[in-house]
Structure 1
Amino acid sequence: MSTLTVVMAVLLATVFLPLGAAKLAAVATMRQAAAHVGMSTTHYRLLGASEVAAAVGLLAGLRITAFGVAAATGLILLMTGAVVVHLRSGDPAASCLPAAVVGALAAALLVLLAGG
């Protein structure tokens, strides 16, 4: 496994572990974000659990590639959904940029993992 693959997996896990944990804990800013897009706190917690699972899967994927592939695929789907939800909520396209960028990083990681 290349150094780039390891760095990308760790970077993505570092991003999603605290974000997912904050959603799971339903901290105030996450509850506000959920309300803004019309989601219940319970639904937002499920998204948080998915993000935490993806972060763990990315790290596990450093030993077992299939876990990393599954986690990266899940993150691509989650970030695609995030972009759609933000746009449907009337948010400006620029607010979708973080989700689009991390989704693209997850896609790049998926290519690296599948290639090697």
Structure 2
Amino acid sequence: MNAVLIVCAVVLAIASLAVSVPKLRLQGTVWSSLRSRGLVENQVRMIGAAEVTGGVGLLIGLFVWPIGAAAAAGLLLLGLAATGFHVKHGDYGNPDTRATSLPAVYFAVLAAVTLVLFLVVR
């Protein structure tokens, strides 16, 4: 197994698990921001659950590569959806919200790199 794949998968898993906590608990600025934009409790919790599932899947995928590839693909889709959500709400053009929106792009890029590594390194 490639060391770069391991590092990318672990970093993405940690990031995924870390961002899921406020969504699952419906606390903090993430919850208030998403609620103010029309998302309801169940939608936000489902996003958090998808992030947890993807993070755990990446860690399992280090031993069973198809699960890791599927988890990376799912997190890529989630990152792209989050980026699209921020684009829709004009967050990247607003200096006040840009800094909190850019991690969605970084998340998507890291998920894409991890997916490619899972597919190439197996």
TM-score over 0.5 for the alignment? yes
Unaligned runs of 5+ in 2: none
Q: Please say if residues 10 and 59 of structure 2, whose CA atoms lie closer than 8 Å, have aligned partners that are also in contact.
A: yes
Give me the identity figure in percent: 37
Residue 47 of structure 1 corresponds to which residue in structure 2?
47
2:102 equivalent among 68, 93, 97: 97
Residue 113 of structure 1 corresponds to which residue in structure 2?
118
User: How far apart, in 1, do the equivalents of 2:36 and 2:84 lie?
Assistant: 14
After TM superposition, what 4+ stretches of structure 1 lie above 4 angstroms from structure 2? Answer: none
Alignment of 1:42-81 (within 5 A): 42-81=42-81
Residue 18 of structure 1: CA displacement? 2.0
User: How far apart, in 1, do the equivalents of 2:90 and 2:37 lie?
Assistant: 9
Does residue 1:84 correspond to 2:98, yes or no? Answer: no
Deviations 1:68-101 (A, max 9, x none): 1011001110011111111112222445421111
User: How far apart, in 2, do the equivalents of 1:36 and 1:91 lie?
Assistant: 14
How many residues in Structure 1 have an aligned counterpart in Structure 2?
116
Over the residues paired in the alignment, what is the CA RMSD in angstroms? Answer: 1.4
Residue 31 of structure 1: CA displacement? 1.8
Tell me which moved more, 18-27 or 49-58: 18-27
Unaligned runs of 5+ in 1: none
